[in-house]
Structure 1
């Protein structure tokens, strides 16, 4: 009899009565963005990461036929530098949540998050 009454009580209770609200995770965010102005390029951090708000990237030479090999080599060097900084950000516990292609005036933008400490 007790089992039947308990079963009826549980079946008749609204589902939300048993739901427990999970604590909402609080995150902090970090944006890493490439800024390109003419042939000048920088990697920006907001807020500062590892004490840096920006890192200078190598100046790209003009992309003419004569400079193509130098242009590609410099561009590759910049990509490697960006990848090193992105790897450092993830090693510090940040999780990549969004990557955007950017615009003509800017390069890629990366949004990271981690749980607030």
Structure 2
């Protein structure tokens, strides 16, 4: 980490390259304004790695990605349901560290 930079520029963060399908089966809700990537960008990033983005927190939601100015109701609901609350860094970290998974199609081919 470099220090001494004043203010974060949008898009200054390096988007990690994750393993294939590393977010397979995970459901995310994005709320608020993320620091360096647009919400649409975060959404397509999650989907690229096999994850799903929904609009509202439910029992099925695995992660709530919270940015600035996010609604209190979503984080309250996430806390009540036991959904993990992460920020943009947490999301990028997930992509960086989660092991890749084979797609359901590949698994099906192997088991025949």
Same fold (TM over 0.5): no
Larger RCO (CA under 8 A, 6+ residues apart)? 2
- If you compute each CA radius of gyration, which structure gives the higher value, 1 or 2? 1
